[in-house]
Structure 1
Amino acid sequence: MDPHDLVIVAGRRLPRVDEVLDGWFEVAAARAGRFGSRYAHIIESLRHNTVGGKRFRPRMVLAAYESLGGTDIDAAARVAAAYELLHTALIVHDDVIDRDFIRRGRPNVSGSYRDRATTAGIALPLAEHRGMSVAVVAGDLALAGAYRLIDESGADELTRGRLIELLDDAVSAAAAGEYTDVDFSLHVEMPSVEEVVEMERLKTAWYSFEAPLQAGAVLAGASLPTIDALGVFGRNIGIAYQIIDDVLGVFGEEDVTGKSATGDLREGKRTVLIAHAATQPEWAAVRGLFGDPDLDDAGAARLRDAITASGARTFAELLAGDYANRAWEALAGHAVPASARDELAPVVRAVLERTR
């Protein structure tokens, strides 16, 4: 899910980010239109799937940039919008990998093109394949757009090169994390807690926290120690957030989180919560339920009871708190100016509050 409760930072400049994104979609649609209306519709479908997001990654870019003295909001908005397009590309592709056709309660790119195909009379298996195929194309376009926005930021050549390198690292990390996550699902044995933490850092924390914060700092002309410190902060707070997100994916109230509390258990998702529970004796009695595609509410309740009894929920919440504390230590260090610390401190507080 999106970090919807961390939207308290850098919200005042988001309209400019939305303007940049609107401009990119308009140009992309016009370019696509030269190749036919069917191709242009892909851009519109992609645009539709960015509506309703909290623009969290742009907020991280802007929070770092402005708190470190940056004043060129147009340049910052383009870099921030690049990370929103990267997020769009990754979630579109992630939905293909997970064979999901719904996001935020409505059809995603795969789902909308699947539905168009079924309406045209195409059988469901072929319609689903068509939907996922179009989504791969759409995700590729969004990824290319992220690089284009960095290139159009107006930053000098050296700064632009550093921004591209950060984006490259984020893309590579997300790919490695996604690959690892898929690989976990193909093996019967459960990964260790340490392996899951590293996967979650690569798949989510890097492009959601580390890279956007460092990009904002680089664009603001911050010193290398400050850029590094913000990277450490982003890495640790990102891991903390993801651990708690996984706990809420099993124990959260669905009407609050907007996410099924059974889906992760039915899917057999490898998380810190499950990796720890699997090492405890309570797991043996419920192991067969985990990852069962026909898991019902009663089975899910048995799994939750076993996870709680094993101490895994407490372990995960304490581990998240530990990573949040590490994040605060990086933020409180001498390398981070007080202005940036004050801007980003609410992120730490919000994550810590989610552990209670």
Structure 2
Amino acid sequence: MIAPTVESIVRDEIDASVDEAIARIRRRCEPLGPGAAALAEAIARATAGGKRFRPALVVAAFDAFGGDRERAPALYPVAAAFELLHTAFVVHDDVIDHDTVRRGVPNVAGEFRARARLQGALEAGETQLGDAAAILAGDLLVHEAERMFAVAPVDPWMRPALLDLLDDAVFTSVAGELADVENSISAECATSEATLSAARDKTAVYSFAAPLRAGAVLANAPADSMPVLQRIGERIGLAFQLVDDLVGAFGTRIEAGREEGADLREAKRTPLVALARETAEWARVSEALALAHTGPIAVREAQQLLDRSGARDQLRLLIEDTLSQADADAEASDLPLAVRDLLHSLTATLPERIP
């Protein structure tokens, strides 16, 4: 797991702020009918039990910049807002990928497909209700995250800065997700540069750059810290997504949270696949990927050919290079030593997830 080390009291405070937001969603939904109430419960389950590393990153950056938690009542609500935003993107991503299970249990779409079955719906109706519920759940979570930023008890000058970084996170993530889907459906295989750009945009800003900047804003850090944090956060976030691509292709069921080789089964055009396309082994890799959906034997064959092509090693080297650039940027900056130590801890722990 990539996350800053924080004491249990911080986790408790983050969880309390998340729980408070979910309780508000429940209060607003319950009077609106059984469907809305069921949606609130599905949202609560989707938000429960996460690693909370994005909120923890907000708090860690705040601390590293010398913030005083006792004088920052907005710290934990703003941090928790990133967990809601992450859950929203995950719920929407499951709709895009037609997934109905996450971590071995039904997701929002899966729950509402089951609800539709109980109501006697046909298969098309199950899909329609499941997808609609998941889209609406994600919408409510994005709204709640934005609301938490909007009502956070901060100094007047801080609010525009916080809303600007949230705005950047949402727009960049949307653009990255859309580019990722376009890359996957295009008749022409996307270049490695295009897949890397999509990978960076859909994850790096909302997961790393924005939380780091939010903690800095709340700690009243110097304005010239923000571009540096943005650049380093994007590098770490890109590396994080590339590691996820390796996990999706080669990780175990436990590591990936779904069946082994799920990205290969779903024929996702990740940077790993784009790099393989640029090798002499591409013809054989392409044939194997076309059959990966048929079962575990075909998945294993695709994994072996991807490995043999050198694409796996290339991606590992790219991850190492990206993290080295992040470390070099941190060392060359004027960021406080505690902030640089935080950034180095992130770059050091991320490779531990590589399968």
SS at match of 1:42: helix
1:238 paired residue number: 237
Flag the 1:11–1:288 CA change in 2: closer, same or farther, 3 A.
farther
Residues 303-318 of structure 1 aligned to structure 2 (within 5 Å): 303-318=302-317
Q: Aligned letter for 1:219?
A: L
Q: Deviations over 1:22-75 (max 9, x none)?
A: 111222211222322331221121011111100111011111111111123531
Q: Is it true that 1:50 corresponds to 2:65 in the alignment?
A: no
Q: Which secondary structure state, in structure 2, belongs to the residue aligned with residue 286 of structure 1?
A: helix
State whether residues 10 and 60 of structure 1, in contact with CA within 8 Å, keep that contact through their aligned partners in structure 2. no
1:164 corresponds in structure 2 to 163
Q: What corresponds to 1:212 in structure 2? A: 211
The 3 A distance-change label for structure 1 pair 310 and 168 is: same
Q: CA deviation at 1:335?
A: 1.9
CA distance in 2, matches of 1:99, 1:112: 13
Deviation at 1:249, TM superposition (A): 1.7
**Matched letter for residue 19 of structure 2:** D
Contact 1:60 1:213 in 2 (8 A): yes
Q: Which amino acid aligns with 1:153?
A: A
Q: 1:35 to 1:258 in 2, by over 3 A?
A: closer
Give runs of aligned pairs for residues 187-198 of structure 1, distance below 5 A: 187-198=186-197
TM-superposed deviation, 1:208:
0.5
Summarize the alignment of residues 1-356 of structure 1 with structure 2, pairs less than 5 Å apart.
Answer: 5-12=1-8, 13-71=10-68, 72-292=71-291, 294-355=293-354
Alpha-carbon distance between aligned partners in 2 of 1:203 and 1:316, rounded to the nearest angstrom: 18
Question: What is the total number of aligned residue pairs between the two structures?
Answer: 352
Superposition RMSD in Å: 1.7
Cα drift, residue 331 of structure 1: 2.1
* CA–CA separation in structure 2 for the residues paired with 1:227 and 1:191: 32
In 1, Cα distance between the equivalents of 2:290 and 2:79?
37
Please give the alpha-carbon distance, in whole angstroms, between the structure 2 residues aligned to 1:348 and 1:163: 25
Shift of 1:147: 0.9
Q: Report how far residue 199 of structure 1 moved.
A: 0.3
Give the distance between the partners of 1:35 and 1:159, measured in 2 at CA: 35
Post-superposition offset of 1:260: 2.6
Give the alignment's TM-score, normalised by structure 1. 0.94
**C-alpha displacement of 1:11:** 4.5
Query: How far apart are the structure 1 equivalents of 2:290 and 2:13?
Result: 43
Contact 2:285 2:306 (8 Å CA) reproduced: no
Cα distance change, pair 195–11 in 1 and its aligned pair in 2 (3 A): farther
- Aligned-partner Cα distance in 2 for 1:146–1:256: 28
CA-CA distance at 1:120 after TM superposition: 2.4
CA shift in 2, pair 1:274/1:243, >3 Å: same
Query: Percent identity of the aligned residues?
Result: 37
> How many Å apart are 1:291 and its aligned residue?
4.7
Q: Could you report, residue by residue, the CA deviation over 1:162-206 in whole angstroms, capped at 9, with x for unpaired residues? A: 100100110001110111011111113221111111101110111
Q: Secondary structure at the match of 1:74?
A: coil
Question: Partner amino acid for 2:323?
Answer: A
d(CA) in 2 for partners of 1:28 and 1:284? Answer: 51
> What is the SS of the residue equivalent to 2:294?
coil
- Kindly state the Cα deviation for residue 16 of structure 1 after the two structures are TM-superposed: 1.1
Distance 2:246 2:20 in 1: 38
Residue type matched to 1:55 in 2? R
Gaps of 5+ in 1: none
Structure 1 residues 85, 256: CA separation in 2 closer, same or farther (over 3 Å shift)? closer
Q: What is the DSSP-based 3-state SS (H/G/I as helix, E as strand, rest coil) of the residue aligned with 2:318?
A: helix
5+ residue gaps, structure 2, are none
Give the whole-Å Cα distance in 2 for the aligned partners of 1:354 and 1:47: 27
In 2: Cα distance, 1:204 partner to 1:232 partner: 14
3-state SS of paired residue (1:47): helix
What one-letter code is carried by the residue in structure 1 that aligns with 2:30? Answer: G
Q: What letter matches 1:224 in structure 2?
A: A
Change (3 A) 1:187 1:219: same
Do 2:236 and 2:322's aligned partners in 1 also have CA atoms closer than 8 Å? yes
Give the secondary-structure state (helix, strand or coil) at the position aligned to 1:260: coil
Distance of aligned partners of 1:101 and 1:257 in 2 relative to their CA distance in 1, 3 Å threshold = closer
Provide the secondary structure at the position in 1 that maps to 2:189.
coil
Name the CA shift for 1:294/1:257 in 2 (closer, same or farther; >3 Å).
closer
Q: Give the partner amino acid of 1:58.
A: P
User: Alpha-carbon deviation of 1:234?
Assistant: 0.9
Moved more, 64-73 or 288-297: 288-297
What is the Cα deviation at residue 154 of structure 1?
0.8
Change in 2 beyond 3 A, CA 1:141/1:355: closer
